[in-house]
A and B are shown apart, each in its own frame.
Chain A
Amino acid sequence: MVSLQFEGSTRRGNLVKNLSSGHDRDRPASVDADTLNAELSGKLEQLHQDLASLEEAKNVPQELMNLTFSF
């Protein structure tokens, strides 16, 4: 397992922030915050679709309310 390290973007002076808490790690993964930001932003559309999908799952069609359970 590797730990997250944030490497600041060039405009913030390439400052590497090692945010590992010192537990047993093999090697730190150097991650550019901008890359991470882009990755998270890229998932926003999917998130909105997922949330819409969950919202849709709450709908109860009228046909269902009239089904008779009798068997």
Chain B
Amino acid sequence: MSAYYSVLPFTDANLHASISNPHCSAAEFQEKAKAKYLADYLAAVGARTIIIENEYVDADYLDDYSSFYAKCFIPYPKLCKRLHFFSSDISEADFSSRIGNRDSKNDQELNNAYLGFVVARPLPEAVIGRTILKTYPPDGGRRNYTCIKRYSANLFGIELVVESLAFQEQDTALAACATVSLWSAFHKTAEIFNCTAPTPVAITRAASELVSATRPIPSFGLEVHQICRAIRHVGLEPEVISMTKQLPLVSLLFGYVNMGVPVVLGCMVDGHGFHAMTIVGYSILPSRVRDSEVLQGPNMRLEGLRINEFYAHDDQTGPFSRLEIVYPSANPVQTTTFVPQAPISFIGSYKDPQQNRLGLFPFVAIVPIYNKIRLRFMDVSEWITRLNQVVSLVLNRTGTPEDRMEWQLRLVPSNSYKTRLRAGALPEASKVAVLSKPHPRFIWEATLLLDDKQVVQLLFDATAMQKSFPIYEVVWTKHSLHSDFAALLKEPALKVTLEKTLTNRFLEMLTCKL
């Protein structure tokens, strides 16, 4: 038996005991809602064995430790424990022999069974430190965890790999919910935009650098402008979206999250207060779950109508926690002076003392975005709204029910678009025409589908200015409605009205590509 590691079968009791420390007993830990969530999560992904590294130096905790805990009177330890989870039964003798005998087949077996790890911090409250856990299975493509990346963990020389996004709970000393929400988001943005991923204490400091109404440390939370400041600190721009009745929030979140850009969502948890979490994935169904996603303004029949829930890193709950979408939004019990009017609300895992599930009411969405992505979801929506007038007319006149159409609106790197286009079903000549021309690095891809078949695709230069004409490519497909669009858009008697509807540039681009 080694003093440096332990191997235990996965049970709730073993999990609680392994995470506990002298400042937080197993009994104290198991009382927390997060402990139950974590145990249930691990059981659901198939955990059977826990291997514990008894002395683990965690870089994030070390930064927190040197900034705060080392200066406390109580001697908090510098070292953490790291708990690794596996979906196979492993004995201590078996693991010991695997350490000493490098065998690629054995290492691969361990990797196949690897479910990730949890760093257990030696603190009284926020014991769940950096947590990298495998996601739930995709369930036939319904569940999509797009904001994950590849993490590797070296366990005594054995290289283990897991696809996930880092999670940790707030300690309210150096990081409140907004800080850890940003910390998770930066782990992914560092990969896609090549920016930095600072530690929680560095985020709190950066956020509070210029203006702070209260003392930054201990941290009691971040204001929206402080969240923005922290995002700028890593070299990104904060795109702040306030909630209005006409905001298609589900499709907007999807538009960014689908590319892997996590969105920080600020909500009011009914009866508790304002809470930030990070949206990291979504569940999409084959058919619509609602007829509209706005309470006012154009209903564009976007892809979001098929999304029934989002997945969030919520430090009050756990990683990849489920947010069911409620449309139209329920009414909050708690009243505030400033009440935004989001068309949707969420149901998460929060419950009142009577075990009734509490609503989460979105107040703000903040997207940490690359500074050259200047075109926003709502800017692109305006052009779609214009074209939708023509689409409606064609559908109406051809007796085609509008509910057979769907707009897909996604931010994508042009390289991934090109790879997809090349493998797609477009005629070769059309592919060559689109693929061989220069594209900006990031694009908004807007696709109109009728019965799941592409009618037209518009490519927007995401690096363009809002007031410019950002559409740089139109790809028409030889769909059954193609001739109808051609007839309408090319009809001389309609030219003036079409120009008023679409603008003359947009009309010209649509017709010249027909």
Contact = CB atoms under 8 A, between A and B. Distances in A.
A57 B386 CA distance: 17
A10 interface: no
Contact of A40 (B275, B338, B501): B501
B227 interface: yes
A8 to B, nearest CB: 8
Interface residues on A, range: 35 or more
Interface in B215-249: 220-225, 227-228, 240-242, 244, 246-247
Nearest to A58: B378
B385 A68 contact: no
B94 interface: no
Contacts of A66: 223-225
Contacts of A9: 493
A44 B225 CA distance: 38
Contacts of B399: 1-2, 29
Contacts of A36: 393, 397, 488, 491, 493-494
A60 B247 CA distance: 12
Interface residues of B, number: 63
Interface string B335-353: 0011010000000000000
Given A47-B386, A53-B298, A3 B483 contact: yes
Nearest to B265: A69
Interface centre among A24, A37, A43, A54 (most CB of B within 10 A): A54
B340 A33 contact: no
A68 B274 contact: yes
B273 interface: yes
Contacts of B400: 1
A70 B340 CA distance: 18
A71 to B, nearest CB: 4
B497 A40 contact: yes
Nearest to A34: B493
A51 B386 CA distance: 8
Contact of A23 (B296, B337, B392, B480): B480
B397 A31 contact: yes
Contact of B494 (A1, A37, A58, A60): A37
Nearest to B399: A2
Contacts of A55: 382
B157 interface: no
Interface of B: 176-178, 181, 220-225, 227-228, 240-242, 244, 246-247, 266, 269, 272-276, 296-298, 316, 337-338, 340, 363-364, 376, 378, 381-382, 385-386, 389-390, 392-394, 397-400, 480, 482-484, 486-488, 491, 493-494, 497-498, 500-501
Given A43-B392, A53-B297, A57-B242, 4 more contacts: A37-B493, A55-B382, A65-B223, A65-B240
